[in-house]
Structure 1
């Protein structure tokens, strides 16, 4: 059963079309992440699901109920905002009780809900404090607690971790994942952080210019992106895009721009079968699928194309080392184990794992 169904949803602000026919479905208990750059329409979509923005056209269903004209308070949802939206003059307990009191929930149920949720979020010692006495992470827990006491059909998160520092963001990301595992509620989570989307979501909707570019599980989004926008947006550093042309040299092969020789594509017959000789393509390769060719096993070398490239910049990050290399007129980025990292100014023989590579049409920018 679907907890949320969005059908051909459109939103106009005057003459500007912000959402352009969005379709989305969340099964009961799913964690859906809406991800994309600023201005892509993800927060507007969340606000429309919540009832905070009107619908220009299309439908929003929560379970079997059309909610286009239903007031936010009657949609059986709970929302956690980026700014926490806590009442500063109230204690944590009062903040969590406020919604239940306004809805006339019996006192005994209120007490039980506070006890259950405070234990779940480990905020029992904070119940008599005010928001000004809490850290950012504690405020975020209280904001989630206020949503949890409602026991809604749908949780909506609007970039809830963007105000936290990097370390706390990682910790809270883990807490949210644990929380979702425990309560099992359908969750729609807006973020511009692709790492949050990849680590938290069961499925991800990648948005751009008011449209859903791809809606799939994290593995598919990362390894089989629908188009060059998704491939470039998801992943840090981004996927390398290398202009290429198919040739026939004893079998299908790619001639890469700036490369001294053709890179064999015999290890990717599924791609080769659908591409005619002479066709221009874009080869997409993730930085982690580049390696030092000479250091690989013979078995792995069978899947590698070879390129000789100069190393222009080396960036150690501790657990891994990034290297910027020159291929013809463009730069490509590789991610290396520090023990195998190249040195700045060195010319290396680079291996390209063709079994993990993607091919895109340069005109439509879609995956071939």
Structure 2
């Protein structure tokens, strides 16, 4: 195993700056997810780690070795691609053995390694088949097996589940997590799917427009996002944002914004923010699951604010129900259990969990 350190990594294609000084560090055995929308630079960064793209500026270290000028074959890495990249004329066994053959690994050692990895991935019955005879999930297991037989210091995954259907993606996500728990190798995993990142990674690097927005544990990324972009990108449905102002309610700092009926909502803050807000204007961020129906069974607790809001649309999804609520001129999504779900057209008594609210500076878009 080896750690990975990236220091002020930059990548230019002519006058276009794709990466703008990325810094991050993965500890030995850690699972890091690079996540962000298409074009954010995450796949370019992975290619630079692998040696498939040159580094315009900065340093990339694998363990105690800077690898900027080291050839990909000498970096002690293994990469799993989105397209599987299996040789169609070779059997699964031959695909897995190919890299070992080129490195002159003895036949007995090849056989032993393939048997061990095939058992780990539960692909023993597939060893004599060719890729054309396999399902998408089976091909992805073989692609992972081909990487595993190398026993590298670093695993790199480039959106490996993008070509699979929704159910198979969930199954393979579980398999990748089990695999990492078994082998404990340092792993860098690129995805645009924030659910994959949240469920797999020990830490997540959120990227946008070539810059690292936040690098932290999934719980911190979700609950204390560094800025409006991270808050909106991570989570499905995403965080709700409401333009509001700071006010005073019964001697307590509150968040205020106009409602559709002409009244003003005043939601007391659960935590004192001191002078960190700077200006009176703020952006209130609240996740859909932190809205709930206010009824006789709802306990009155500090940090929970109440208000009445119109219900625009209700969307049952089975285990939960989404509802579009009207906060003044802003539509807000709430996540409810089917038992407490609102009805379209009703004015819903609502509880807002202000202990989980996030406040953002409207000028910098950063968390206050």
Map 1:138-153 onto structure 2 (within 5 A).
Answer: 138-153=138-153
Compute the displacement of 1:272 (Å). Answer: 5.1
Contact between 1:253 and 1:262, CA under 8 Å: does it hold in 2?
Answer: no
Residue by residue over 1:252-292, the C-alpha shift from the partner in whole angstroms, topping out at 9 and shown as x without a partner, is: 112123372342424222x356336x710011000000011
What is the SS of the residue equivalent to 1:73?
helix
* Residue 268 in structure 1 maps to residue 287 in structure 2: no
Q: Report if aligned partners of 2:2, 2:153 keep a CA contact under 8 Å in 1.
A: no
1:288-338 CA distances to partner (integer Å, 9 max, x unpaired)?
A: 0001122553344x3221221111100000000000011111100000000
Q: Is the 2:258–2:264 contact (alpha carbons within 8 Å) kept by the matching residues of 1?
A: no
Residues 265 and 274 (structure 1), Cα distance of their counterparts in 2 relative to 1, 3 Å cut: farther
1:137-175 deviations in Å (ceiling 9; x for gaps): 000000000000000000000000000000000000000
Cα distance between partner residues in 2 of 1:2 and 1:272: 43
Contact 2:6–2:59 (CA under 8 A) maintained in structure 1: yes
Corresponding residue for 2:283?
A: 282
User: Displacement of 1:125 after TM fit?
Assistant: 0.3
SS in 2 for 1:339: helix
In structure 2, runs of 5+ residues without a counterpart are: none
TM-score, normalized by length of structure 2? 0.97
Please give the secondary structure, in 2, of the residue aligned with 1:355: helix
The 8 Å contact of residues 266 and 272 in structure 1, kept in 2 or not, is answered as: no
Which residue does 1:74 correspond to in 2? 74
Alignment of 1:231-270 (within 5 A): 231-251=231-251, 252-258=253-259, 260-269=263-272
8 A Cα contact 1:5 1:60, kept in partner: yes
Q: Which residue of 2 aligns with 1:341?
A: 341
Return the alpha-carbon distance in structure 1 between the equivalents of residues 5 and 269 of structure 2. Answer: 43
SS at match of 2:9: strand
Structure 2 CA distance for aligned equivalents of residues 145 and 35 of structure 1: 24
| Partner Cα separation in structure 1 for residue 233 and residue 298 of structure 2 | 32
**Distance in 2, Cα, partners of 1:334 & 1:115:** 50
1:71 and 1:263, CA in 2 relative to 1: closer, same or farther beyond 3 A? Answer: same
Instruction: Output the CA distance in 1 between the equivalents of 2:88 and 2:51.
Output: 25
By how many angstroms is 1:351 displaced? 1.1
Quote the Cα distance in structure 1 between the aligned partners of 2:66 and 2:264: 59
In structure 1, distance between residues paired with 2:41 and 2:165: 25
Give, in whole Å, the separation in 2 of the partners of 1:360 and 1:170.
33
Partner SS for 2:169? helix
2:131 and 2:321 mapped to 1: Cα distance?
A: 41
How much is the aligned-residue C-alpha RMSD, in angstroms? 1.3
Q: In 2, distance between residues paired with 1:263 and 1:306?
A: 9
Q: Secondary structure at the residue paired with 2:219?
A: helix
Alignment of 1:292-311 (within 5 A): 292-300=293-301, 302-311=302-311
In structure 2, the residue corresponding to 1:205 is in which secondary structure?
strand
Partner in structure 2 of residue 58 of structure 1? 58
Distance in 1 (alpha carbons) for counterparts of 2:249 and 2:107: 79
Aligned to 1:3: 3
1:35-65 deviation line (CA, Å, top 9, x unaligned): 0000000000000000000110000000000
Q: Which residue of 2 aligns with 1:88?
A: 88
2:350 alignment partner in structure 1: 350
**1:207 matched to which residue of 2?**
207
> Is this contact kept in 1: 2:269–2:355, CA < 8 A?
no
Within-5 A mapping of 1:98-177: 98-177=98-177
- 1:188 maps to what in 2? 188
Distance 2:49 2:151 in 1: 17
Q: Distance in 1 between matches of 2:195 and 2:296?
A: 30
Cα gap change, 1:2/1:227 in structure 2, threshold over 3 Å: closer, same or farther? farther
- Report if the CA contact (8 A) 1:2-1:25 is conserved: no
